[in-house]
Amino acid sequence: MATKPRQKPSGASLRLGPDALLKMYYFMQLNREFENTILRLYQQGKVVGGAYSGYGNEATAIGSAFALEPQDYLFPMHRDIGAHFVRGQSVRNMMMQHLGRAGNLTRGRDGTGHYADPSLKIYGNISHLGAMIPVACGAALASTMRGENAVALTYIGDGGSSIGEVHEGLMMASAMKLPFVLIIENNQFAYSTPLAKQALVERLSDRAIGYGIPGITIDGTDVLEVHRVCREAFARARSGAGPTIIESVTMRMSGHAAHDNAWYVPKALLDAGKKKDPIDRFEKLLAGEGILTSAGKEAMLAEIQGLLEAEAARALALPYPAGPEAAEGVFADA
């Protein structure tokens, strides 16, 4: 059975100005359209390796990153592409990264989000996702020692939340009251394993009590609710009160990656997920408030499509890195 949020979405109570709301909507659309572009390039054989989709998860990625301050640290997962854009990462860099071109953030050695950009305080995902939690806790500890008043935010999936390193990191963060926030992206499936076969707890956030920290379950398709709860958790962390676990309930609307057709997901779950599309929900709210018009939406989508097409063409025209470069920067100089 799918986890239900502990409370009704109350994001509408958050008073953000029209410009901020439209910016949030822009990032959600950019998130989805960027990933759609990458999936098309994958189908054309132009993306090597994995291609992932955060379809259905845009509100979680955008709402959480939108609540961060410039000094904060972000450790996003593969379904949090929108968080990169909110933090200031360029479409150009992300396109080059996914296409594995020379001169990209990983020197062409990787074609996903496994990169670091210290200038933006983004430290991309590790394939063994549970390993991100101790690293993020280390960043929170170092930041505290430097007096930065910063928060370290990272994410984990419902399946990954059972990995031992997650427990170890949370034990450290709670005992030391580190400024650390963990979002559990509960999208109902750990690859092909449904939630009911992963855990017996009613909510994954209930595990927080074992660490003596707050745990809250929210509707991860409501961008304003995600933003509000993250702001509260970040404020708590900055005050010295320690970490928070936020379980964001969403639905993975595609397979694990482009190669997986998600045959194992019941159609009823996907149908229910479509009815809670985070972009559609937010769009209706903005339209109802007179903030987003049909003309405004069309102009925004045209701008995004033009940007993505131009940056994809530019990246495709660039060379792959030269073979000998694969050995550079691997070993320290003697």
Phi, psi of 310 (to 5 degrees): -65, -45
pLDDT band at 127 (very low <50, low <70, confident <90, very high): confident
- Between 124 and 215, whose confidence is greater? 215
Q: Which residue has the tokens 């439209």?
A: 22
Q: How far apart are CA 217 and CA 248, in angstroms?
A: 6
Q: Is the pLDDT of residue 6 over 60?
A: no
* Stretch 91-114: mean pLDDT: 92
23 burial type by CB count under 10 A (0-12 exposed, 13-18 middle, 19+ buried) = middle
Per-residue DSSP letter, 264:
T
H/E segment holding residue 247: strand 244-249
Q: How far apart are CA 222 and CA 30, in angstroms?
A: 17
Q: Encode burial over 164-195: b for 16+ CB neighbours within 10 A, e otherwise.
A: ebbbebbebbbeebbbbbbbbbbbbbbeeebb
Lowest-pLDDT range of 11-25, 62-76, 170-184, 196-210? 11-25
H/E segment holding residue 278: helix 278-288
Q: Is the pLDDT of residue 21 over 50?
A: yes
Task: Determine the pLDDT at residue 164.
Answer: 94
pTM of the entire structure?
A: 0.92
Look over the chain and give the mean of its residue pLDDT values, rounded to a whole number: 92
pLDDT band at 219 (very low <50, low <70, confident <90, very high): very high
Q: Is the pLDDT of residue 1 over 50?
A: no
Q: How far apart are CA 254 and CA 171, in angstroms?
A: 33
Q: How far apart are CA 84 and CA 76, in angstroms?
A: 8
* Stretch 188-203: mean pLDDT: 89
Contact (Cβ atoms closer than 8 angstroms) between residue 185 and residue 241: no
37-96 tens-digit pLDDT: 999 999 999 998 889 999 999 999 999 999 999 999 999 999 999 999 999 999 999 999
Q: Is the pLDDT of residue 11 over 90?
A: no
Amino acid at 207: R
Task: Determine the pLDDT at residue 13.
Answer: 42
Task: Determine the pLDDT at residue 8.
Answer: 43
Q: How far apart are CA 240 and CA 6, in angstroms?
A: 25
268-311 tens-digit pLDDT: 999 999 999 999 999 999 999 999 999 999 999 999 999 999 99
135 burial type by CB count under 10 A (0-12 exposed, 13-18 middle, 19+ buried) = middle
- Between 259 and 12, whose confidence is greater? 259
- What percent of the chain is modeled with pLDDT above 70? 96
Q: Which residue has the tokens 């593969």?
A: 78
Per-residue DSSP letter, 12:
G
pLDDT band at 113 (very low <50, low <70, confident <90, very high): confident
Q: What secondary structure does DSSP assign to 141-169, as a single string?
A: HHHHHHT----EEEEEETTGGGSHHHHHH
* Stretch 135-164: mean pLDDT: 96
Q: What domains sit in the chain, N to C, each tagged with a CATH number?
A: 11-317 (3.40.50.970)
Q: How far apart are CA 129 and CA 271, in angstroms?
A: 28
Task: Determine the pLDDT at residue 9.
Answer: 39
pLDDT band at 334 (very low <50, low <70, confident <90, very high): low
